[in-house]
């Protein structure tokens, strides 16, 4: 019973730690797919909390050699954009 419980705890912790990275990689792929003008994704951060009904991400991207900060949902749709200095 102890071995089974410890394995379950390890699986839960691993899932908790890996899930945000998996989601961010998925959002990166969707943003590039939906917005071919984006040349590079410099950074991505998750700004929603666990348990919220929607997920939102903020990214710094390069478009035509200029950096922009964009906000996106989990479907890769850009909801807002501003020049980044």
* 54 three-state secondary structure: coil
Give residue 81's pLDDT band: very low, low, confident or very high (50, 70, 90). Answer: very high
Distance of alpha carbon 3 from alpha carbon 1, whole angstroms: 6
Token output for 25: 């990689």
Distance CA 6, CA 63 (A): 47
Task: Give the whole-angstrom CA distance, residue 26 versus residue 29.
Answer: 5
Q: From start to end of the chain, where are the E strands?
A: 38-46, 56-63, 66-73, 78-83
pLDDT tens profile 16-49: 788 778 888 888 999 999 999 999 999 998 776 6
């Amino acid at each position: 019973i102890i071995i089974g419980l410890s394995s379950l705890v390890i699986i839960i912790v691993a899932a908790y730690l890996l899930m945000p990275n998996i989601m961010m990689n998925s959002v990166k792929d969707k943003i590039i797919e939906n917005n071919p003008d984006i040349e590079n994704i410099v950074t991505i951060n998750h700004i929603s909390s666990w348990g919220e009904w929607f997920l939102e991400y903020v990214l710094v991207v390069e478009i035509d050699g200029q950096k922009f900060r964009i906000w996106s949902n989990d479907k890769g749709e850009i909801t807002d954009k501003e020049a980044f200095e």
